[in-house]
Each structure stands twice: as C-alpha cells, then as structure tokens.
C-alpha cells in the first residue's frame, strides 16, 4: 500500500495492546485511514469499506447479545436499546475511552479543525477496526472485541432512556445542572428529494454537539444524544 511519509503516525503496537488483539499492521493502518488523509496522499485506500463491514458485525453482535440477555423485552424495546449502543455517540465514547483519536490518520484540514475528537470520525474508525479484526482474526474475535467495547455501556441504564428520547433527556440533564434549556441550530443541504440535515445543540457553555440525519428531527435527536453523552461524562 503506497503512502507518503507521515511523521506523526499512529502507534500501532500501543493500539493493539489497548485493543487486546494482534492485527496485520497494514490492515490496522487501513482501518485508521480517514478519507481526508487518503485524498492528500494520492488517493490511497480509505477505511470506509472496513467501516461498512464493521457496522454490520457490530449490529449483529449487539442484537444477539440483547436478544439472549433480555427475553422479557419486546422487539421495539430491543431495537431502542440496540440503537443506543451502536449510535455514533456511543461509539465515539468507546473510541475516546481508548484514546483512538490520536491514532487516526487525518488530512491537514481535519487535523486543524479538531477531527481527532469529532464523534463521527471516531465512531467510523471504531467500526473500521471491528471490520479489520473480522477479516484478520475471524468472527469470534470481532464479536469479543465488540462486547469489550459495549459492555460498560450496557451496564448504564440511563443510556437507554436517553436513546429513546434524547431531547427530553438532555433538557432534564441541563436542568439538573442549573443550565438553560438546550438551543438547537439546524442547517440543510441537498435537493428536495434527498435532503441532508445537520443540527448543532448547545447548553450554555457546558457542551456543544452536532448530529446528522435525513430529517430535521433525526439530526436534532442525534445531536441531543451526543450532547447528553458528553454532559453525562465530562
């Protein structure tokens, strides 16, 4: 795989020790390669295909675990819990906990705008790593990694309530902190038949977060869940 020199590259050995998984270095490096870095380095491969694979593996592993652990829950409740565990906010929390941001290969623009701490970039890289583990170590190892990632989240009952109604949960959390009500700003782009919305929510100077979606409501809910996660785990 052709790459130009990158003096501040990721410490692959450290990351593998953190993940408790040994991976082919080139495959792990691919999992860490954001499209902004790939573009600036001659169009080398990105982690997006691995992200696509990892997303599927993550969803299956979490679904099976919830199904087995909660025989009393109906389909709707299981779906809500799964959504809370595989959301970008949850995966960003996982990635931050293992210091993933400092290992991601980013282009200069993303680096300058704080890309190493952007929830969407961290979450996508977590999924790419899951995909890399599946390819290199097999399905069992990938599932074990997913469970190590999400186990702490599954023990947090408040998370499931926030996932079901993130805007209300954020408003209640803000009130408990003595802060003003969350303020939302939504922008839209794209043609009428394929709109894309980006919402930003702020709670005084305590937290600011963003979310995306195909509707205003979806974007606001994604932003609220990310803000709730950040405010709950300062």
- Selecting among 110, 127, 220, 226, the annotated active-site residue is 127
Catalytic residue among 55, 110, 220, 226: 55
Give the residue ranges of the annotated binding site for Mg(2+).
Answer: 51, 124, 127
Annotated active-site residue 72? The verdict is: no
3-state secondary structure of 105: strand
Q: Annotated binding residues, as ranges?
A: 51, 124, 127
Positive or negative, the CA dihedral 79, 118, 155, 218 is negative
One-character DSSP codes across 161-220: HHHHSHHHHHHHHHHHTTPPPPEEEEEEES-GGG-EEEEEEEETTTEEEEEEESSHHHHH
- Annotated active-site residue 5? The verdict is no
Cα–Cα nearest to 103, from 57, 37, 148, 155: 37
Active site residues: 55, 127
């Amino acid at each position: 795989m052709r790459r130009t020199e990158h003096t501040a590259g990721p410490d692959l050995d450290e990351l593998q020790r953190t993940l408790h998984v040994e991976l082919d270095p080139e495959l792990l490096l691919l999992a860490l390669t954001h499209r902004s870095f790939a573009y600036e380095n001659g169009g080398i491969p990105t982690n997006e295909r691995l992200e696509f694979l990892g997303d599927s593996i993550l969803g299956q592993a979490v679904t099976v675990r919830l199904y087995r652990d909660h025989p009393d829950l109906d389909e709707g409740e299981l779906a809500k819990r799964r959504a809370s565990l595989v959301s970008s906010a949850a995966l960003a929390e996982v990635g931050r906990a293992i210091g993933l941001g400092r290992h991601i290969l980013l282009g200069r623009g993303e680096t300058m705008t704080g890309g190493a701490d952007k929830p969407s970039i961290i979450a996508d890289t977590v999924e790419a790593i899951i995909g890399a583990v599946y390819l290199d170590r097999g399905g069992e190892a990938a599932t074990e990694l997913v469970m190590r990632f999400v186990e702490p989240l599954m023990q947090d009952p408040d998370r499931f309530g926030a996932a079901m109604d993130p805007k209300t949960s954020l408003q209640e959390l803000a009130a408990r902190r003595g802060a003003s009500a969350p303020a939302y700003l939504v922008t839209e782009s794209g043609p009428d038949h394929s709109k894309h919305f980006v919402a930003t929510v702020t709670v005084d100077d305590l937290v600011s977060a963003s979310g995306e979606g195909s509707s205003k409501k979806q974007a606001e809910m994604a932003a609220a869940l990310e803000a709730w996660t950040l405010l709950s785990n300062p």
